[in-house]
Amino acid sequence: MLTVAPPTRLLLGPGPSPVHPRVYQAISQPVVGHLDPYFFQVNEEIRKGLQTCFGTTNEFTMVISGTGSAGMETAVTNFVEPGMKFAVFANGYFADRITEMGRRHGAQIVRLEKPWGESFTGAEAEDFISRHKPQLVAFIQAETSTGCYTPGKGICEAARKVGALTIADTVTSLGGMPVDVDAMGIDIAYSGTQKALGCPPGLAPITVGPRGVEYLRARKAPSVSWYLDLKLLLDYYEQAHRYHHTAPVSMFYALRESLAVIEEEGLPARLERHRKNHEAFVAGMESLGTAMYVAGEHRLWTLNTPRVPDGVNDLAVRKHLIAKYGIEIAGGLGPLAGKVFRIGTMGYGSSAENVSLLVDALRDAFAVAKA
Ligand SMILES: Cc1ncc(COP(=O)(O)O)c(C=O)c1O
Ligand 1: centre distance to CA 83 (Å): 26
Entry pTM = 0.98
Mutate-to-test residue for ligand 1 from 76, 144, 190, 303, highest number of ligand atoms within 8 A of CB: 144
User: If you take atom 13 of ligand 1, which residue's CA is the nearest one?
Assistant: 68
Ligand 1: centre distance to CA 69 (Å): 6
User: If you take atom 5 of ligand 1, which residue's CA is the nearest one?
Assistant: 68
Mutate-to-test residue for ligand 1 from 69, 98, 167, highest number of ligand atoms within 8 A of CB: 69
User: If you take atom 7 of ligand 1, which residue's CA is the nearest one?
Assistant: 68
Q: Which atom of ligand 1 is nearest to the CA of 144?
A: 16
pLDDT of the residue at 175: 98
Ligand 1: centre distance to CA 165 (Å): 21
- CATH 1.10.1060.10 assigned to domain 267-370? The reply is no
Look at the domain 22-263 and name its fold: Aspartate Aminotransferase; domain 2 (3.40.640)
User: If you take atom 8 of ligand 1, which residue's CA is the nearest one?
Assistant: 68
CA 274 from centroid of its chain's CA atoms = 15
pLDDT of the residue at 286: 97
Q: Which residues line ligand 1 (CB under 6 A)?
A: 14-15, 67-69, 72, 94, 140, 142, 144, 169, 171-172, 192, 201
Phi, psi dihedrals of residue 65, rounded to the nearest 5°: -80, 100
C-alpha closest to that of 186 among 172, 207, 205 = 207
Ligand 1: centre distance to CA 289 (Å): 30
Q: Which atom of ligand 1 is nearest to the CA of 15?
A: 14
Phi, psi dihedrals of residue 249, rounded to the nearest 5°: -55, -40
Q: Which atom of ligand 1 is nearest to the CA of 201?
A: 10
What is the secondary structure of 7-71 as a DSSP string? Answer: PP-EE-SSSS-PPPHHHHHHHTSPP--TTSHHHHHHHHHHHHHHHHHHT---SEEEEEES-HHHH
Per-position pLDDT tens, the chain of length 371 = 999 999 999 999 999 999 999 999 999 999 999 999 999 999 999 999 999 999 999 999 999 999 999 999 999 999 999 999 999 999 999 999 999 999 999 999 999 999 999 999 999 999 999 999 999 999 999 999 999 999 999 999 999 999 999 999 999 999 999 999 999 999 999 999 999 999 999 999 999 999 999 999 999 999 999 999 999 999 888 878 999 999 999 999 999 999 999 999 999 999 999 999 999 999 999 999 999 999 999 999 999 999 999 999 999 999 999 999 999 999 999 999 999 999 999 999 999 999 999 999 999 999 998 86
In Å, what is the CA distance from 351 to each residue of 12, 275, 276, 287, 344? 11, 11, 9, 19, 11
C-alpha closest to that of 141 among 120, 122, 114 = 120
Q: What is the pLDDT of residues 31-69, one digit of tens each?
A: 999 999 999 999 999 999 999 999 999 999 999 999 999
User: If you take atom 2 of ligand 1, which residue's CA is the nearest one?
Assistant: 171
Mutate-to-test residue for ligand 1 from 76, 172, 343, highest number of ligand atoms within 8 A of CB: 172
User: How many CA atoms lie less than 13 Å away from 139 in the CB half-sphere?
Assistant: 34
pLDDT of the residue at 238: 81
Radius of gyration for the chain, computed over Cα atoms and rounded to the nearest angstrom: 21
Extents of the domains making up the chain: 22-263, 267-370
Q: What is the pLDDT of residues 227-245, one digit of tens each?
A: 999 999 998 888 789 999 9
pLDDT of the residue at 371: 62
Q: Which atom of ligand 1 is nearest to the CA of 140?
A: 1
C-alpha closest to that of 155 among 177, 176, 172, 134 = 134
Torsion angle in degrees (nearest 10) through CA of 281, 284, 290, 292:
30
C-alpha closest to that of 321 among 330, 312, 311 = 330
Ligand 1: centre distance to CA 15 (Å): 9
pLDDT of the residue at 163: 98
Mutate-to-test residue for ligand 1 from 74, 76, 94, highest number of ligand atoms within 8 A of CB: 94
pLDDT of the residue at 237: 86
